[in-house]
Amino acid sequence: MPQLTIIYGEEVREVEAEVGALLGDVIATTGLPLEQPCAGRGTCGLCKVIAEKGLAPPDEIELEHLTRGELAIKNRLACRARIQEDARVVLSPIVVYSNKIFRGSTRYKREKDVELGVAIDLGSTTVAAFLTMQDNGEVCAGAASLNQQTVYGADVISRLAAAVNNPEDQERLHKLAVASINQAVDALKLSDKVRERIRTVSVVGNVAMHHLLVGLPLDTLAVMPFQPYDRASIIDGIEIMEGIFPDGTSVKIPPLIGGFVGSDALACLAYFGFDTSDMPIAAIDLGTNGEVLVTDGKRILTASTAAGPAFEGVNISCGTRAVDGAIVQTRIDGSELLLETIGDEPPVGLTGSGLLSVVHELRHAGVIDASGRIQAAPAVLSERIDVGPDGGRRLQLAPGQDLYLNQWDVRELQKAKGAIRAAIEILMAQLELKPEDLQRFILTGSFGGQVDIEAALNLGMIPPVRVEIVETQANGAGFGAAMFLAGEGFARGEQIAEQAEQIDLDLDPDFNNHYISGMGLSQDGFAFGK
């Protein structure tokens, strides 16, 4: 009997299967995760896997439902594909986020002669695609999906470790990156005619995403002093995309800034005009990592912190991604804790912005003190507080539900915000800037774009700048990538990469002091009054 090998991140299963057996049925016997909601009609697309070998050719239903890009990267529908001989497949989670993450002008539908570009922000967790008019750089639509590499771990380090230990896993991580880009582009739901107008694609990402996508050696990234194998830009990378864009498309990958700071941060620098600003400005790109960018109007300094996972709901006991029912905002009204959830659905967990919001509210109400401790008997909500199985205090978020904010969750937030605050303080100190010198402070990224500015200020996540200068913009890296589609925009990106300096936070003797004081839940000059 043929052998089927199923690869799910670093988990590998081998099972015997009859010739002609349905792939989905065989995978189901292993208990590995595979959704098959439409049970073989080919319509839901949630059972997609990447085939490496041994399957019979796709049938009509598969050919009808798989896009050209999916066929190019050997995506198959597990509910239809049949085993032909010894076979190997890679499971990949298909999650498309709320269809459109950005909706702009529909001019591309009316002006059919204008060439189009697609800008990709290849994030560790989220991959976003933006359809862009080539004549004036206007972004028309955006869509996003989960980075399928997350089967190898939510953090970049575990993915790099898997790739370094096994060249086949490195190749799989590359394929999963391409498959995720394809998924995000498919989520734009472009007609074939619109797709044929795509002439240029630009891709930005952090250093690890860049190397895994391009297929560069990773050894130098995984060991001190963590240098990229190659920072240079790529102006014709169509072969990297393996046929998912029309032939002749120019695929551009802008340069990296350094070993820790990638082209996603470079895109933010371009989009927010760090190179053209003659006054001091700062930005934080908060996704899975936190990139901190500061200029005094002359030098541009950048740094990366591993601060993000808490803000993606990772390492938080009831953390969740932005799904229906995810808590995004909270408010204490009298003795009530009011929760705002996505889609107004019953609460399922806390997003990063929900976590920041609830800690801010609880701090304001005196339920949490400035050191982050949950109080035993505060004046409000004390009936919601008990001691959890781990021996630490916790607060029930919704009555009757197994949904708690525990002491360790508050600590995770404190560590994340401590790292970010330390990074900003160090960059500002190097440029001799004071908070009052900054004229603009931008929070961007999947989490940064959602941040409650008041909470970020009051809890001391960012320095005590004037509230009027703080702004949020969810898609800084994606919109910057859209600027790189045009020749002059790309050249400007290369110029900024030369100009920007990467600061190694580990080498700064003050990092620990800033980190520890940054963990406190208060801001100089702001009193919570409790």
C-beta separation of 175 from 50 below 8 A: yes
Taking CB under 6 A as the criterion, the residue among 22, 26, 47, 89 binding ligand FES is: 47
> Terminus-to-terminus CA distance in the chain, angstroms?
71
**With contacts defined by CB under 6 A, how many residues of the chain interact with ligand FES?**
13
Give 63 or 338: the residue with its C-beta nearer to ligand FES.
Answer: 63
Give 77 or 465: the residue with its C-beta nearer to ligand FES.
Answer: 77
CA 434 vs. chain centroid, Å, equals 30
H or E element, residue 142 = strand 139-146
E-state strands within 231-335: 250-252, 281-286, 290-295, 300-305, 326-333
Query: Taking CB under 6 A as the rule, does residue 465 contact ligand FES?
Result: no
Query: Taking CB under 6 A as the rule, does residue 25 contact ligand FES?
Result: no
Query: Taking CB under 6 A as the rule, does residue 216 contact ligand FES?
Result: no
Query: Taking CB under 6 A as the rule, does residue 355 contact ligand FES?
Result: no
Query: Taking CB under 6 A as the rule, does residue 5 contact ligand FES?
Result: no
Return the axis-axis angle of helices 207-214 and 156-165, rounded to nearest 10°. Answer: 30
Kindly state the smallest distance separating residue 74's Cβ from ligand FES, in Å: 16
Give 77 or 265: the residue with its C-beta nearer to ligand FES.
Answer: 77
Query: Taking CB under 6 A as the rule, does residue 27 contact ligand FES?
Result: no
* Distance from C-alpha of 340 to C-alpha of 160, rounded to nearest angstrom: 37
Burial (CB count <10 Å: 0-12, 13-18, 19+), residue 60:
exposed
Kindly state the smallest distance separating residue 48's Cβ from ligand FES, in Å: 8
Kindly state the smallest distance separating residue 51's Cβ from ligand FES, in Å: 14
Q: Hey, which residues does 330 pair with through a beta bridge? A: 339
C-beta separation of 114 from 89 below 8 A: no
* Distance from C-alpha of 38 to C-alpha of 46, rounded to nearest angstrom: 9
Query: Taking CB under 6 A as the rule, does residue 36 contact ligand FES?
Result: yes
CA 139 vs. chain centroid, Å, equals 20
Residue span binding ligand FES (CB under 6 A) among the ranges 42-50, 253-261, 302-310, 522-530: 42-50
Q: Give me the sheet containing 96-103, strands edge to edge.
A: 96-103, 139-146, 126-133, 116-122, 198-205, 250-252
Query: Taking CB under 6 A as the rule, does residue 428 contact ligand FES?
Result: no
C-beta separation of 365 from 349 below 8 A: no
Kindly state the smallest distance separating residue 37's Cβ from ligand FES, in Å: 6
Give 64 or 236: the residue with its C-beta nearer to ligand FES.
Answer: 64
Report the SS3 class of residue 424.
helix
* Distance from C-alpha of 238 to C-alpha of 20, rounded to nearest angstrom: 36
Taking CB under 6 A as the criterion, the residue among 15, 46, 114, 380 binding ligand FES is: 46
Give 57 or 217: the residue with its C-beta nearer to ligand FES.
Answer: 57
CA nearest 141: which of 100, 111, 107, 87?
Answer: 100
Give 47 or 310: the residue with its C-beta nearer to ligand FES.
Answer: 47
Query: Taking CB under 6 A as the rule, does residue 58 contact ligand FES?
Result: no
CA nearest 209: which of 131, 126, 278?
Answer: 126
Kindly state the smallest distance separating residue 61's Cβ from ligand FES, in Å: 8
Q: Give the contact letters, 69-88, x = binds to ligand FES (CB under 6 A), - = no.
A: --------x-x---------
Taking CB under 6 A as the criterion, the residue among 8, 9, 21, 42 binding ligand FES is: 42
Give 43 or 166: the residue with its C-beta nearer to ligand FES.
Answer: 43
Query: Taking CB under 6 A as the rule, does residue 290 contact ligand FES?
Result: no
Residue span binding ligand FES (CB under 6 A) among the ranges 41-49, 308-316, 344-352, 366-374: 41-49
Residue span binding ligand FES (CB under 6 A) among the ranges 31-39, 301-309, 367-375, 468-476: 31-39
- Parallel, antiparallel, or unpaired: how do β-strands 336-341 and 326-333 relate? antiparallel
* Distance from C-alpha of 497 to C-alpha of 300, rounded to nearest angstrom: 10
Kindly state the smallest distance separating residue 65's Cβ from ligand FES, in Å: 7
Taking CB under 6 A as the criterion, the residue among 3, 13, 38, 231 binding ligand FES is: 38
Taking CB under 6 A as the criterion, the residue among 2, 5, 10, 44 binding ligand FES is: 44
* Distance from C-alpha of 19 to C-alpha of 3, rounded to nearest angstrom: 10
Q: Hey, which residues does 131 pair with through a beta bridge? A: 118, 141
Give 31 or 248: the residue with its C-beta nearer to ligand FES.
Answer: 31
C-beta separation of 294 from 280 below 8 A: yes
Give 38 or 214: the residue with its C-beta nearer to ligand FES.
Answer: 38
Taking CB under 6 A as the criterion, the residue among 45, 255, 262, 319 binding ligand FES is: 45
C-beta separation of 190 from 184 below 8 A: no
Interacting residues with ligand FES (CB under 6 A)? 36-40, 42-47, 77, 79
